[in-house]
Structure 1
Amino acid sequence: MQDPAWMTPEMAYFRDTIRRFCERELLPHEPRWEAQQHVDREAWLKAGQAGMLCCGIPEEYGGGGGTFLHEAIAFSEQARALAPGLGNAVHSGIVAHYIHAFASEEQKRAWLPRMARGDLIGALAMTEPDAGSDVQAIRTRAVRSGDEYLITGSKTYISNGTQAGLICVVAKTDPEAGARGISIFAVEAEKVTGLRRGKPLHKIGLHSQDTCELFFEGMRVPASALLGGVEGQGFYQLMAELARERVIAGLVAIACADRAIEETVTFTANRKVFGKPLIKMQNTRFVLADCATKLSLAQAFFAQCAQRLLDGHLDPAEAAKLKYFATDSCGQIVDACLQLHGGAGYMAEYPIARLYQNVRIHRILAGSNEIMRELIARSLDPLSP
């Protein structure tokens, strides 16, 4: 595929560096990481040395000093490489930005350089067994006790959960206040008691990615762990950062769709059916044409949203549209490409089969696509509050 207009020579060099790192340091270890259900701790340190972590965080806090587009390159190259184990999109794309936006100056200088080096891994603990896209339904409770908070509850489907040293925990500080009663706590796992991690969860795909449950059993955290220093700001902090998370979800889906088409073009050009290459069959050509068109539309939409994010004017509804369209399109593209592989597409040794396993979650994470459609509809409805 042709490079996008925003791919400057400097960014192309960064992309090539990240691509080589993924091929050399991540992809060869994926089978072993899939078996153990998490990457080696050393992988995070190597990613930090390669400049792959926190590349969009300012240099004064130990980051790469780049923009969201540098992060986009890092996340998309990892997705294209079929090396999803390193949970960098959560670590660098989400948690690091919560810290940069809402933590105290002292906390930013203490945590962000360590996150950029890879010796402090970040996780966001929001989803609960009975509360996914509906954040206001969470039950985890944080009660003030002197100069501490006592946190009780549980979280599930937490990426980086077993290895995270810094966990942003979403909890209710005032259960009667609705959205105004939600707060976020930045918890240093090694400094608290009452935190218990569940075993790695068995998933349909993304087998190498660390995902587990977290249990807070009277976990005491200092009052300074409250992000922003004021109770009740959590919902607004989440809304401020969710647009970025949804653009990242769309971006990763686009990278997977791009790889699916690339694999399928190569496969159908080499596979012969009735004496001629499969790619010469009209059905194959039409299917690939449809896939390529959907991909181009998603790429153009991403470029628009990314620029608005850089300018500070990204509308949440636009981010929801991108997440919904890109992830739905990715699912359609990967499914169609697998079909063109025939029986080979069902064999795990083929990249298209691994893509098929991994991309299904994209329509669920960062808010399900049904929720995205509701958010989009609300932006159109003049009667919405």
Structure 2
Amino acid sequence: MKHLYLGKEHEIFRKSLRKFLEKEAYPFYEQWEEERMVPRSFWTKMGDQGFLCPDLDEQYGGSGVDWGFSVVINEELERVGSGLVGLGLHNDIVVPYLSSYGTEEQKNRWLPRCASGEIITAIAMTEPGTGSDLANIKTTAVLDGDHYVVNGQKTFITNGIQSDLVIIVCKTDPKAEPKHKGISLLAVERDSPGFSRGRKLNKVGLHCQDTAELIFEDCRVAKDNLIGDEGKGFFYLMQKLQQERLVVAIAAQTASEVMYRLTLDYVKSREAFGRPVGQFQNTQFKMAEIATDIEMGRAFLDQLIASHIKGKDIVTQVSMAKWKLTDTARRIAAECMQLHGGYGYMEEYEIARRFRDIPVASIYAGTNEIMKTIIAKNIGL
């Protein structure tokens, strides 16, 4: 299918990126899974080739291109493996807060090194007792002279171990009413006194993606590290969540396409009762259903990406895509594993890893239940 938002230059870019990944990622991915970490050297190689933050202005180290290039990057990284999600988070979720709301001094200080891979970023929203209910976070940042003093804990933080710059969601006014008006965004650098890492969390899937707990104990952060205006953090989050959830939908759709291709190849070659498994009607019907779901998902997703690139407000539709495509990918993973038979449960077959990796997409960036709540509200219920 020809994507609505891609031209010849995007396809040339995809070929270049794919060639790079075939050399620098595919041969090492299983090793990264075993080591539970994507090496920093891969980040800097991505940066050297212009595959990090391509939509940043050239003055900040980017290429100044449209967001279609970021879509290509997200798709090709997902084809390697879902554990590379941290690079998409860096490019399309964290860095946009800096480029949209940061001061000129902040942009010059951080963005060129984000584009080169020298700085790895993270965003810290979730807390041990607070997930989707961001208005009730407990982490506080109290102004003391030229510094904020931060206290609190964050958990499930993507890039949590390797990150050099973490944008934290915190309460600068714990007494604000309504509560969300007391929320601000603060950039915490690696060497900030009072900032430490907790456990690197042991997850069901996404093994090479470093996910961690972050701890702030009287952590002193310069006032100059405030992102945007104090008290507007919740508004900034709401502005950027459309793109974050679209990134998750893109990864889910790509994963479904990969799992379909893996399974189609398998059922064509695997024989049972003297003929390929793909010749049995049950297999044919299952594959037909999966192929149809994928085509419909791609058509909807491409339309949304094109609208997003044009700057349209498509929060409701993106919420639909995020829940539907991640839910579909989870079902496709289970059905494709079943079609692999016993081999689908063996770690040497990629479908087993995909089966482990995909379920969390229904949870992060807002659970699918939250997506349905947003949809219901926006259709007038």
Are residue 53 (structure 1) and residue 40 (structure 2) matched?
A: no
Give matches, 1:368-383, under 5 Å: 368-381=367-380
> What's 1:221 paired with?
221
Q: C-alpha distance in 2, partners of 1:321/1:21?
A: 33
> What's 2:327 paired with?
328
Q: C-alpha distance in 1, partners of 2:360/2:217?
A: 29
Question: Does the CA-based 8 Å contact 2:121-2:165 persist in structure 1?
Answer: yes
Q: C-alpha distance in 1, partners of 2:186/2:164?
A: 13
Q: C-alpha distance in 1, partners of 2:84/2:380?
A: 40
Q: C-alpha distance in 2, partners of 1:242/1:184?
A: 14
CA deviation profile, 1:148-207 (whole Å, cap 9, x unmatched): 1000001001111111111100001112221101100012223x1000112311000010
Q: How far did 1:55 drift?
A: 1.3
> What's 1:4 paired with?
3
> What's 2:283 paired with?
284
Q: C-alpha distance in 1, partners of 2:206/2:325?
A: 19
Question: Does the CA-based 8 Å contact 1:30-1:85 persist in structure 2?
Answer: no
Question: Does the CA-based 8 Å contact 1:246-1:323 persist in structure 2?
Answer: yes
Are residue 233 (structure 1) and residue 247 (structure 2) matched?
A: no
Question: Does the CA-based 8 Å contact 1:82-1:351 persist in structure 2?
Answer: no
> What's 1:188 paired with?
189
Q: Which amino acid aligns with 1:187?
A: V
SS at match of 2:167: strand
> What's 2:206 paired with?
206
Question: Does the CA-based 8 Å contact 1:133-1:371 persist in structure 2?
Answer: yes
Q: Which amino acid aligns with 1:317?
A: T
Q: C-alpha distance in 2, partners of 1:236/1:379?
A: 17
Give matches, 1:1-385, under 5 Å: 2-82=1-81, 84-85=83-84, 87-177=86-176, 178-190=179-191, 192-228=192-228, 230-381=229-380
SS at match of 2:34: helix
Q: C-alpha distance in 1, partners of 2:85/2:236?
A: 25
Q: How far did 1:371 drift?
A: 0.6
SS at match of 1:242: helix
Q: Which amino acid aligns with 1:39?
A: V
TM-score by length of 2: 0.97
CA deviation profile, 1:227-281 (whole Å, cap 9, x unmatched): 11x2110000000000000000000001100000000010000011221111111
Q: Which amino acid aligns with 1:325?
A: K
Question: Does the CA-based 8 Å contact 2:29-2:80 persist in structure 1?
Answer: no
Q: C-alpha distance in 1, partners of 2:5/2:233?
A: 33
SS at match of 2:175: helix
SS at match of 1:65: coil
Deviates more, 1:343-352 or 1:86-95: 86-95
CA RMSD of aligned residues (A): 1.3
Q: C-alpha distance in 2, partners of 1:278/1:160?
A: 41
Q: C-alpha distance in 2, partners of 1:138/1:45?
A: 34
Q: How far did 1:300 drift?
A: 1.3
CA deviation profile, 1:125-146 (whole Å, cap 9, x unmatched): 1111111111112110010111
SS at match of 1:10: helix
SS at match of 1:176: coil
Q: C-alpha distance in 2, partners of 1:354/1:63?
A: 33
Q: How far did 1:29 drift?
A: 2.0
Q: C-alpha distance in 2, partners of 1:48/1:3?
A: 28
Question: Does the CA-based 8 Å contact 1:196-1:214 persist in structure 2?
Answer: yes
Q: C-alpha distance in 2, partners of 1:353/1:16?
A: 27
Q: Which amino acid aligns with 1:186?
A: A
Q: C-alpha distance in 1, partners of 2:244/2:65?
A: 17
- Specify every segment of 5 or more residues in structure 1 that has no aligned partner in the other structure, as ranges: none
Question: Does the CA-based 8 Å contact 1:305-1:314 persist in structure 2?
Answer: no
Question: Does the CA-based 8 Å contact 1:85-1:210 persist in structure 2?
Answer: no
Question: Does the CA-based 8 Å contact 1:19-1:81 persist in structure 2?
Answer: no
Question: Percent identity over the alignment?
Answer: 39
Q: C-alpha distance in 2, partners of 1:238/1:62?
A: 24
Q: C-alpha distance in 1, partners of 2:202/2:208?
A: 10
Q: C-alpha distance in 2, partners of 1:258/1:3?
A: 15
Deviates more, 1:295-304 or 1:246-255: 295-304
CA deviation profile, 1:45-88 (whole Å, cap 9, x unmatched): 11111221101222221112222211111011111122624611
Question: Does the CA-based 8 Å contact 1:84-1:208 persist in structure 2?
Answer: yes
Deviates more, 1:283-292 or 1:263-272: 283-292
Q: Which amino acid aligns with 2:279?
A: K
SS at match of 2:216: strand
CA deviation profile, 1:73-126 (whole Å, cap 9, x unmatched): 101111112262461111111111010010001111221110110000110011
Q: C-alpha distance in 1, partners of 2:65/2:286?
A: 38
Question: Does the CA-based 8 Å contact 2:4-2:306 persist in structure 1?
Answer: no
TM-score by length of 1: 0.96
Deviates more, 1:299-308 or 1:146-155: 299-308
- Specify every segment of 5 or more residues in structure 2 that has no aligned partner in the other structure, as ranges: none
Q: C-alpha distance in 2, partners of 1:107/1:319?
A: 30
